[in-house]
Amino acid sequence: MVHKTESDFRQSRPLIRLAKSLGISSSYVGQSHDYHEISDEVLISVIGSMGYDASSDEKIRESSRRIRAQEYSRLIPYTVLHVQGAESTVQVNTTMLESPTGTITLEDGRTFGGRLRVEAGDGSAAVPFQNTFITKTSLVLPVDIPVGYHRLTVKAGKRSSEATLICAPKRIPLDRDLELTRPWGWMAQLYSIRSGESWGIGDFADLSRLLVDAKRKTGADFMMINPLHASEPVTPLTPSPYLPSSRNFLNFTYIHPETIEEYSLLGQESIDKISKLHDSVKELNANSELLDRDAMWHAKMPALWTVFKAGRTFERQQQFDAFRTRRGAELTAYATWCLAYDKWGEPTHDNSSWIHAFDIDSPEVHKLCSQYPDTLSFYEWLEWIADEQFEAAQRNAKAAGMRIGIMADLAVGVHSLGSDVWGNPERYARGATVGAPPDYFNQQGQNWSQPPFEPHNLAETGYKVYREMIHSMFAHAGALRIDHILGLFRLWWIPSGRGSQDGAYVNYDPAVMLGILAIEAQRANGVVVGEDLGIVPDYVRESLKSHGILGCVVEWFEQRDGTFIKPKDWTASAVASLNTHDMPPAAGYLRFEHVRLRDSLHLLTEPLDQVMAAARIEQRSLMNVLVEGGWIKREWLTDIREHEQDIVEGQYKALCASPCKLLAVSIADGVGEGRTQNQPGTNNEYPNWRIPLADSNGDVVPVEELFIHQRLQSLTHVMHRHC
């Protein structure tokens, strides 16, 4: 029998105790219930990435003493969570002779008038610290503290400590209209869907039309789109939307120049210049094989410079200045990174690169900003325009009648050489990246090359960066999808230089982070969806459900012991879909494209015929469920290719038979696209995130024709008849 817990001897080791005091798990249970213990070498490296030395017994003792001093030198933690509607307690580190008092300053500056009760301990748990004894006294927070981000001040004797007090609703309330009905919407990779006016890549103007047409022509209530986080300012542009330079700002390469308000004020010479630039890339819109972001940006960037240099009216300049003031130092840092990237070149991991040689406060960086003030302002202006056009898309969606509108996607992390890390390196762990341990779908594990948030810095700063990030995303969206929401509970940290399997889980404070989500969702009257696929413990899903956060149900993943679970037995608290962006569209799945693709990329760890045989058995099992449910006819299975559309629609009929709160339909499935957008475990071996939307014949489907496409309309009727 396999033991799935650590021995008492292992848990008593100083290294293991140090790791656990920092929130590092020294063992874990994998997807197949396989038990793993983390090696000493990996634990020492992960501990080091948090700024503590565990390289020897003496260093372990020193680090443990340092952690102890940090805890007991403060009266209260840096961040305190309170759930509205119930009393909660804050542990106060006092001496035997001290009696603490507490006051709360609300986020609007007023002093909270309620009483904070003190409950003293009996001293039995007192611990020695710096020639005295620390005892735990409880400060009781009342039920009626309003929702928000407040300041808690606690005094005891001559000491005083302040904390960020996060008062969150118990759960995210679902709008009553959404609760009584079941909305459905489309899943789209925005960059892949072009119109005749695009510059080779889908843009914010295309998004606006997609949303309005989706409502008017199909009755959809939302559109789940790929992350629109900030990318590089100059080419080459990173294709993956899940490896951004910043999650605090938008990808301004999605701007549509002709929709900028100042475009209408341009002279004929400038308009002709922009028109010529657009014509130079217009043919890209008809390319069904590969997207070319770099060609797009080479043409679009000078067009945007032309609009920027034309200036603004006094009123518009005031609006621009207000945006800069509102976004403050974060915007300045991002624009500065863009300027340095623009003038000094692409940052690299080489120590001689500017990103390692200079920090944001270096004299060399200040000199650069003084030398190119217009370019610095240009990058701030691009963010303002991107923000305006994204906001307009959501506004138009709501005006068209969409109940949710945009479902934005929050990537799990950022590029290690991006602006977020360079501008605020203290927020991130050093010498580690995040990923996932081996599982069935990715048998070699995954390394996403992104540095994780340092959990202790989050706590010490009141989770400010996380709060602001969630707030900014809800500013222009009716729903938010959190990629890899397990990351709010724990992340798989991989020390530099090691393989994906040689990592360890580092734990975060999910109650605080879920509380922040609840605050921001309540204020935006929005919906939160957590991507909870893969190795996700049951307690995580239960916690999400109790907070009113929807999980994800993927029809092809709903299996137990090799048998597909009937849709009526799926969890209700979820968004249901057939597939994800890391899987083939429905047509590709029926053709076993996912097996052939992984084989061609040498990603299989077993012989092709063995994997293909297993895939055929799996597909047959799914088809049997569809036949038994009455969603497809058994005779169709004798010629799946001939009845491909019928079988795809049958899978969506099964989706509609589930109790899931929201249903998401892939636009790729709507037009018969068979190609995968992204193959995990690859980079340039496959054109990830560069596949244009095409139909079953390989022809481009433009925005103008998308929602009148015969196959898509047929699938739309399925959703209306069966939901």
Q: Give yes or no for residue 136 having a pLDDT over 90.
A: no
- Kindly indicate the confidence band of residue 441, based on its pLDDT and cuts at 50, 70 and 90: low
122 confidence band (pLDDT: 50, 70, 90): low
Share of the chain above pLDDT 70, in %: 97
Whether the Cβ atoms of residue 141 and residue 55 lie closer than 8 Å to each other? no
Give me the pLDDT at residue 131, please: 63
* Residue 625 pLDDT grade (very low, low, confident, very high; cuts 50, 70, 90): very high
What percent of the chain is predicted at pLDDT more than 90? Answer: 85
Q: Name the one residue in this structure whose structure tokens are 């090359």.
A: 449
Give the mean model confidence (pLDDT) for residues 595-600: 94
> What is the residue type of 292?
D
The answer, yes or no, to whether residue 180 has pLDDT greater than 80, is: no
In the chain the first and final C-alpha atoms are separated, in Å, by 46
User: How high is the pLDDT of residue 201?
Assistant: 98
Q: Is the pLDDT of residue 97 over 80?
A: no
Mean pLDDT confidence for 585-601: 95
Which two tokens mark 471?
A: 């707030």
| pLDDT score recorded for residue 413 | 94
Higher pLDDT, 363 or 560: 363
Mean pLDDT value across residues 441-455 = 85
Residue in the block written with tokens 């789940």: 224
Q: Say whether pLDDT at 124 is over 60.
A: no
Q: What is the Cα 158 distance to its own chain's centre?
A: 44
Q: What average pLDDT score do residues 263-290 get?
A: 97
Provide mean pLDDT across the span 79-89.
Answer: 94
Average pLDDT on 408-426 reads 96
Cα dist from 59 to 17, 457, 494, whole Å: 13, 22, 22
pLDDT in tens, 66-81: 999 888 889 999 999 9
pLDDT given for residue 121 in this prediction: 64
Task: Look up residue 249 and give its two tokens.
Answer: 């700002």
The conformation of residue 286, written as its DSSP 8-state character, comes to G
Question: Of the ranges 58-72, 129-143, 577-591, which one carries the lowest mean pLDDT score?
Answer: 129-143
pLDDT over 50 (residue 196): yes
Question: What's residue 1's pLDDT?
Answer: 42
Average pLDDT rounded to a whole number, residues 116-142: 75
Q: Give 231 or 93, the one with higher predicted confidence.
A: 231
Q: Indicate whether 444 pLDDT > 90.
A: no
429 close to 50: Cβ distance less than 8 angstroms? yes
Q: Choose among 242, 226, 145, 152: nearest CA to 190.
A: 226
Residue 466 pLDDT > 90, yes or no? yes
In degrees to the nearest 10, what's the CA dihedral of 11, 12, 14, 16? Answer: 0
